[in-house]
Amino acid sequence: MSNHAALTDKNRLTKADTVALWHAVNWTETVLKEWRREGIKDDTDKAKFEAERARLLEAKRALRKVNAIRKNQSPTPNQPET
């Protein structure tokens, strides 16, 4: 295996990579649901909550893009398509 091939394989997105990202996004969503359930205390708290909610929406969009990139990667000879 050439150095280029080793580098390429090392930088490929795997299903495990996207699953790990999904868990992080899901955890953030759980935290925000709990925050909302406990109640937003004041305008400052509401602003923080809204900023985190916006960040969560961006993370969900990014995760969909990452999944699409992973699925569109051409498989390597030693790696089955996922």
Low-confidence ranges of the chain (pLDDT < 70): 1-8, 76-82
- Nearest partner of 65 among 10, 13, 11, 8, judged by Cα: 13
On whether residue 66 sits in a domain, the answer given is yes
Q: Which domain holds residue 39?
A: 13-70
Identify the pLDDT of residue 78.
62
Is 81 a domain residue? no
Q: Which is nearest to 79 in space by CA: 2, 6, 4?
A: 6
Q: Is residue 78 part of a domain?
A: no
Q: How many domains does the chain have?
A: 1
So what's the pLDDT on residue 11?
86
- What pLDDT was estimated at residue 7? 46
Let me know: does 56 contact 32? Beta carbons within 8 Å: yes
Q: Give the pLDDT score at 82.
A: 53
What integer pLDDT is reported at residue 77 of this predicted model?
58
Q: Is residue 48 part of a domain?
A: yes
